[in-house]
Amino acid sequence: MEKYAEQTQQEFEGWEEFFNKPVDEKVNAFRSGNRIYDVIYAQQFDRAFLDYLCRLADSIRLLAKTKVGQSKLRHLLPHKRAMLYFVQPSTRTFLSFQNACHILGITTSETRGTSTSSEVKGESPEDTIRTFASYVDLIISRHPEAGFAEKTAWVLNQTDHPVPVLNGGSGPDQHPTQALLDIYTLEREFRTIGGLDGKKIAMVGDLKRGRTVRSLSYLMKNYQDIELVYVAPEIFKMKDDIKEFLDKHRIPFTETEDFESIMPDVDAIYMTRIQNEYGSDPTSEAETFPQFHLRPHHLPKIQTHCAILHPLPRRYEIDIRIDKDPRAAYWRQERCGMWIRAALIAYIFRVDDDIQDELS
């Protein structure tokens, strides 16, 4: 598709001032009454909300096991429409959100790239999002730019026709709904051993540019006695802002490049891939860092209850022979994504009580 003009740049009065505030001071801008309205940062979630959403996801899952339950879920929100604006590649976030909408009866529209939208004519991203809000009741976005969801939600909230915005991944910055599904998965994997409290979790790979490990790290402040181990090559170490956040909330963490040495000590291993899409030099980005891969010969070294997670997609970080090991939780993890996103959407549209009532 021919591009007719560069995208129009628009300046919104008050945006820069808002953007530069600490997140703690910004979260109220994305609430409505006593509820979360837009989902932008992982820091918006507290323990009560996380526990509640996990229970709600379990309820939706249980209802969806029967035809009658599925029909009840589909009749909750048939009057709502959602737009999936995914202009950065995605398989599971897109599909899990789309199917979460369909489980609840919501009709969906989608844009999978800017080349077929009026952005090629020079329309700004903010006007594009505002246009979606003219037609739908919910916008779910995935964008290569850090802070994109935050800005568009803020802009919409200044208009007389706002709709909730859910951040499905914004550049190397945040992926808050991935963090929700990671928590849901960890709580389920540790269900028989006291849940996530008191656990030691290793995050492995490209921690510098991986938004999933950033958002998940933020959520650790909600759990008791958590310890983190960041395992990364020197060039992909976790950024200082997250380490400062952990210090502030007294969450102990260590850093190492010696993956094998920490394997016997941890309750969960969260693997990630190298995020080459944010690199500028394809030659240096070709390195696969095999010392940060999980291989079958590592399995005897890890604890019998150790949960192996990965936000996916994977490349070579986890050998496919590990998939059959009962500790490999990543395929269960991606299914958890659909249920927790259905729970989130039900909460946003305030049909969560109807779901719980069905089971009481």
Has 121 been annotated as catalytic? yes
Task: Select 215 or 222, whichever has its Cβ closest to ligand CP.
Answer: 215
Q: Kind and range of the H or E element at 125?
A: helix 125-135
Task: Select 216 or 355, whichever has its Cβ closest to ligand CP.
Answer: 216
* Interface contacts to ligand CP, rule CB under 6 A: 90-94, 169, 178, 311-313
Distance CA 250, CA 227 (A): 10
Task: Select 330 or 347, whichever has its Cβ closest to ligand CP.
Answer: 330
Task: Select 91 or 224, whichever has its Cβ closest to ligand CP.
Answer: 91
* Least Cβ distance, residue 278 to ligand CP (angstroms): 13
Task: Choose the catalytic residue: 3, 47, 121, 295.
Answer: 121
* Least Cβ distance, residue 146 to ligand CP (angstroms): 15
The beta strand positions in the chain, using DSSP E, are: 31-32, 35-36, 81-86, 107-111, 138-143, 165-170, 200-204, 227-231, 253-256, 268-271, 307-309
Radius of gyration of the chain (CA): 20
* Least Cβ distance, residue 141 to ligand CP (angstroms): 12
Task: Choose the catalytic residue: 130, 175, 188, 273.
Answer: 175
Instruction: Name residue 61's amino acid.
Output: R
Task: Select 44 or 98, whichever has its Cβ closest to ligand CP.
Answer: 98
Has 175 been annotated as catalytic? yes
Q: Are strands 107-111 and 165-170 parallel, antiparallel or unpaired?
A: unpaired
Spell 138-160 as b/e; 16+ CB within 10 A means b: bbbbbbeeebbbbbbbbbbbeee
Write the CB contacts of 219 (distance below 8 Å, at least 6 apart in sequence): 42, 45, 50, 179, 182, 183
* Least Cβ distance, residue 333 to ligand CP (angstroms): 9
- Two structure tokens written together for 54: 């996990």
* Least Cβ distance, residue 57 to ligand CP (angstroms): 17
Has 221 been annotated as catalytic? no
Which residue is closest to ligand CP by CB? 93
Give the HSE-up count for residue 308: Cα atoms under 13 Å, Cβ half-sphere. 25
Separation of CA 310 from chain center = 12
| In the block, residue with structure tokens 């009709």 | 107
Task: Select 52 or 316, whichever has its Cβ closest to ligand CP.
Answer: 316
Task: Select 92 or 237, whichever has its Cβ closest to ligand CP.
Answer: 92
Contact 111, 117 (CB under 8 A): yes
* Least Cβ distance, residue 91 to ligand CP (angstroms): 4
Task: Choose the catalytic residue: 93, 114, 212, 272.
Answer: 93
Distance CA 259, CA 294 (A): 9
* Least Cβ distance, residue 270 to ligand CP (angstroms): 12
Distance CA 136, CA 163 (A): 8
Task: Choose the catalytic residue: 55, 74, 81, 92.
Answer: 92
Task: Choose the catalytic residue: 26, 61, 130, 142.
Answer: 142
Give the active site residues: 92-93, 121, 142, 175
